Amino acid sequence: MNIEQARFNMIEQQIRPWNVLDTGVLELLTIVKREKFLPANQQSLAFMDTQLPLADGSLMLSPKLEARIVQDVAVKKHENILQIGVGTGYLSALLAFHARSVICVESSKPVFDAAEQTLHREGVTNVTVALGDATKGWCAEDKYDVIVVAGSLQVLSEELKQQLKVGGRLFVILGSAPIMTAFLYTRTSEANFEVKALFDTSVASVPNSEQLPVFSF
């Protein structure tokens, strides 16, 4: 397989048509090698428009969704990021390229172990992976410039929203399968958030996240 041709095809046939037009993001996808963040037996699938299995059987995000997240949160060099769900570490590495630091909180020990090893091997030094549940915030006294929830939620907790700095952005996918919507929350003041619907999608929910009550009639 010609890896660079496959990468080019991924960018031109999957990612650019999904409204990822920022030249900096498209260039970043050629710098941070997606296949390096996958096990050897999955590297030939790295550029497919699909969600590949992680170490615990859950699924990583597709390439076009990872690229949209990076474009929509628009990270700046001085910013600190909280990411919920580390996946393979690839999204973390993309975000870290233009950030001061990324803290990833992962609830699955096998996924945590695999991602931590991969990030270390690939020399990504400004990403820290922690084992735990951050759906209701993480280190409550800390504030973040960017928060990325790398999975879907039915409920976005107030605690998590309150950890966003004024001017900060929070990316989250809300809803239930088969139709979910990605939103970007921008904190405009201590009391107010601007909310923008970005696109519809469907991804696995964050483990142990709050569920809406099911009503029976």
CATH numbers and ranges of domains, the chain: 3-201 (3.40.50.150)
Entry pTM = 0.94
What pLDDT, in 10s, does the model give residues 156-199? 999 999 999 999 999 999 999 898 999 999 999 999 999 999 99
List C-alpha distances in Å: 30 to 9, 34, 36, 186, 192: 11, 9, 12, 29, 37
Chain-centre distance for alpha carbon 135: 14
Which pLDDT band, with edges at 50, 70 and 90, does 207 fall under? confident
Spatial neighbors of 211 by CB under 8 A, at least 6 apart, are 154, 155
Cα separation of 137 and 158, whole Å? 9
Cα separation of 11 and 30, whole Å? 9
What pLDDT, in 10s, does the model give residues 94-148? 999 999 999 999 999 999 999 999 999 999 999 999 999 999 999 988 999 999 9
**Burial class for 4, CB neighbours closer than 10 Å (0-12, 13-18, 19+):** exposed
Q: Residue 213's pLDDT is what? A: 62
Q: Are strands 193-201 and 179-187 parallel, antiparallel or unpaired?
A: antiparallel
Q: How much helix, strand and coil, in percent to the nearest 5, is found in the chain?
A: 35, 30, 40
Q: Residue 47's pLDDT is what? A: 97
Q: Which tokens in the block code for residue 4? A: 């660079």
Residue 5, amino acid: Q
